[in-house]
Each structure stands twice: as C-alpha cells, then as structure tokens.
Chain A
Amino acid sequence: MGMLIKVGMADLKVARAPNNLLTSGLGSCVGVCLFDVGVKVGGLAHIMLPLSTQARNLENKAKFADTAIPILIAEMVKLGAVKNRLVAKIAGGAQMFSFPGASDVMRIGDRNTEAVLENLKQHKVPILAREVGGNFGRTIELDTNQGKVFIRTINRGEKVI
C-alpha cells in the first residue's frame, strides 16, 4: 500500500507509484494532474489564480497557473518523468458564489481553467480529460499507477476521469 500525499491550497507535490496524490475541496481553484505512464510518476498542483504577473507577492509560485505548471513539470522530471510523455487531467474551476450581475472577479474559476489550459498547451502537454465548471466543490485523487483521477463531490456523486 502506498501513501496518500496531501496537496494543500496553493501548493504542488509530485509522487511515484504506489503513492497517490490528493487535494481536498477544490472550489474556484483548479487541480492539475500530470502523469507519466512510463515511470508511473504523477504531479498535482492546486492552483488558485491564473496569472503571477498581476500579483504583488510572488513568494509562492505554486499558487498561479503560469508559474506552477513549469515547476510541476520540472519536479516530475527530477523524479524521472519525461516531459514529452506527460499527459494532463484537470478538475475544479467552479463558481461557488453567484452574485447578480457578477463581475469578472467573480468568474475566477473560469479564468483559472482558461489559464491552466493555455499553459499546458504552451508546454505541449496533451489534456486527456477535464471536469471543470459548475458551482460545486471537488476533491480529487491522482492514482500514480494508471493515471486515473478520482473525483468526489458532496451532491454530484463520484467520477473517474
């Protein structure tokens, strides 16, 4: 039995099979799961904001889509993953609260998803599956044996992508 490694908010971690990665309660945040089937190495980033260029504090690079993804890839390569073999699955990007006449800021979930997709494309990582949007939270677990992502919700059941 492997360990279950927890990834917090605005955090990223990598693991090798049989150790799985888990992040709880993704709301507007996006969970990015990368996987290399060749060496069974996985990586998970819990991304909070789309762009580091708008931030006043860049200390935590795991928080932003544009800085977290290259770091996640680099960390996986350190564990033996090969960059052009990586595939991605993403989940989250919900809109938890809706205000009437909501401004752009309120759509942070969509903006996170768009930024993640754009950055994965830049790094030429194919996106195999996505489970994004809606108005509900998701907990995700990346299985580093087969690259499956298990998604739990409160009222929308469970799903494997």
Chain B
Amino acid sequence: MLGVFNLSPLQMDALREVGNVGAGNAATALSEMVQKPVDMKVPSLGVVPFNEVAERMGGPESLVAGVYLKVHGGAPANLLFVLPFDSARMLVDLVMGLPGGSTQVIEDLQASALMEVGNILAGTYLNALSMFTQLAYEQSVPALAIDMAAAIISAVLTTIAEVGDQALLLETEFIGGGDQLIKGCLFLIPEEGSLEIILGSLGLA
C-alpha cells in the first residue's frame, strides 16, 4: 500500500492542483448563490494529526457549523464544510436574501439553506475531481451539525481512524460576502486506499 504520509512533491502538487480547480469551481458556485464576490485561498494540503484538525477550526470547543457529505464511487472520501457559527448565520442571510444580521438562530429552514450550500459546493468540487481523475463520484445527502469543533470533526475522523491517527486534508478557505466577512473551510478527507486511486488515475501512483 502506498504510504499516505510520504507523498512525493510531484504528487503533492498534483493533489493541490486538483483541489485548486475543485475549490475554484466551488467558490464560483458560492459567489453565484450569494451574488457577492467570494475569494478562495490556494488550498493547503497536509497530513494533520487528529488533534490539530480542531485547532485549525479555532480550537476544540469553538462553536462551528459543519455540513458533512459522504462521497461514494471511484475514490470514497468525506467532505466537510466548516464555518464559524457567526459566518454560518451571515451565510444564511446572504443565501436567503435577508439583511445582514437577520439570522440569529439556526432552525430547520436555516439548516436547509446551509445544507444546500454544502450540497452545491460538494457537487462542484466533485465535478472537478471527476474531470481530473475520470472517476465517477456520488455524494450522499448532506447532514448538518452545529456544535463544538472537536465534536464535529471527530465524528468525521472516526471513519478513517481504523487506519491511523492522521488525516490527509485538502483544505480550502473561502472568504467572501462583500462587506460581511464570511469564512469557511472545505475539507476533503479520503478514505483508506482512495488516495492511491486518485493518484493512479492521474498517472502518479
């Protein structure tokens, strides 16, 4: 088995490029949804110990919204879109066309809006991944949780925890919303064996 944690620079670059295009498509989709410019940082790719993943989201107890989708098909993976709670509220305002600050609580309606954003981001991201890898992906329906960052991320990491204590994260940060600063991160967490499949399809196994 290819060591997940000893990728060559060429392999890292290729994965980053896939992530770049995927996230670029996702940012465009997000921008269309909220009708405001959305910037995207160049994705960072890294092998991160579980305990650091929550640190990247503002600390283990910080309040975040997480939209989680499972990816089936060519290379099974997990997609998690995480936003600080305040960003999640602002995103709901934008998507629903409400004045900034209108959304205070996330109930069913607001939850649906956030899950739909996650759904569209995942779809555009996976389209790009599919183009590069010539593999077909199928995304599950989204699920939403609003809670402590560590509680949310650990629930996703359990799906890969039988293999190790580290996750390969392809992380993209979105910043947008015009005068309102909305931050969010999209994590692609491949399941065991998927990384080899993706690299293989790129001719880099």
Contacts and interface: CB of A to CB of B under 8 A. Distances in A.
Interface of A: 8-11, 24-29, 48-49, 54-57, 59-60, 63, 94-100, 105, 108-109, 135-139, 152, 154
Contacts of B146: 154
Nearest to B159: A105
Interface in B121-155: 140-141, 143-152, 154-155
A97 B63 contact: no
Tell me the dominant secondary structure on chain B's binding face. Answer: mixed
Given A97-B145, A99-B143, 10 more contacts: A9-B54, A10-B165, A25-B150, A26-B154, A27-B147, A63-B165, A96-B145, A99-B140, A152-B61, A154-B146
B64 to A, nearest CB: 10
29 contacts: A9-B154, A10-B165, A24-B61, A24-B148, A25-B54, A25-B61, A25-B149, A26-B151, A27-B150, A27-B151, A28-B154, A28-B158, A55-B163, A56-B192, A57-B162, A63-B165, A96-B152, A97-B66, A97-B143, A97-B144, A98-B143, A99-B140, A99-B141, A99-B143, A108-B158, A135-B145, A137-B152, A139-B148, A152-B61
Tell me the dominant secondary structure on chain A's binding face. Answer: loop
Contacts of A29: 154, 158
Nearest to A108: B158
B98 interface: no
Interface string B156-167: 111101111100
A12 B55 CA distance: 19
A48 to B, nearest CB: 5
Contacts of A139: 60-61, 148
